[in-house]
Structure 1
Amino acid sequence: QLLLQSLFPTPFLPPCAKEEAEPPEEGRREEALMGELSELVQQVVKRSSWWERHGIDDSIIALNFLILPAGFLCLRSDNALPFLLGIFILGIVHHTVTVKGSHLASHNALTESKSWGKVWAIFFLEVCSAFTAEQAYYNHVKLHHGYTNVIKLGDSSTWKLPFLNRYVYMFIAPIAIPILTPLVALGLLKDVELKTALRTLCCMFLGLYSHYWLLVNVSGFQSVWSALICMLITRSLLAHPYIHVNIFQHIGLPMFSADKKPKRIHLMSLGVLNLPRNALLDWSFGHSIISCHVEHHLFPNLSDNMCLKIKPIVSQYLKKKKLPYNEDSYMSRLQLFLHGYEELMVNAPPITELVGIQ
Structure 2
Amino acid sequence: MKRRPEDLVVFLGPSLPAAEARRIAPCTVLPPARQGDVWRALSLKPRALVLVDGVFEAQPSVWHHELLAALEAGVAVFGGGSMGALRASELSEHGVVGVGRIFGWYRDGVAVDDSEVALLHADAEHGWRPLTVPLVNVRHAAELALKARVLGRAGAKALVDAAAGVFYQERTWPRIREAVEPAWTRPVREAWDAWFSGGVEDLKRLDAIECVRTGAEFVSRAPPMQPGVRRNPSSLVRRRRLMEDVTRVGSRAVDSGRVMELLRGAPDAAAWAEAGLRRALLAGWARSLGLDATEEEIAAEEAAWWNERKVRASRREAFLAANGLDALELRRLCEARALERLALKHASRFLPDGPSWDEALASEARMGGQWEQAARALAEADDASDEGE
**TM-score of the pair, normalised by structure 2:** 0.19
In terms of fraction of residues, the more helix-rich structure is 1
In terms of fraction of residues, the more strand-rich structure is 2
Point out which structure has higher relative CO (alpha carbons under 8 A, 6+ apart).
1
**TM-score of the pair, normalised by structure 1:** 0.21
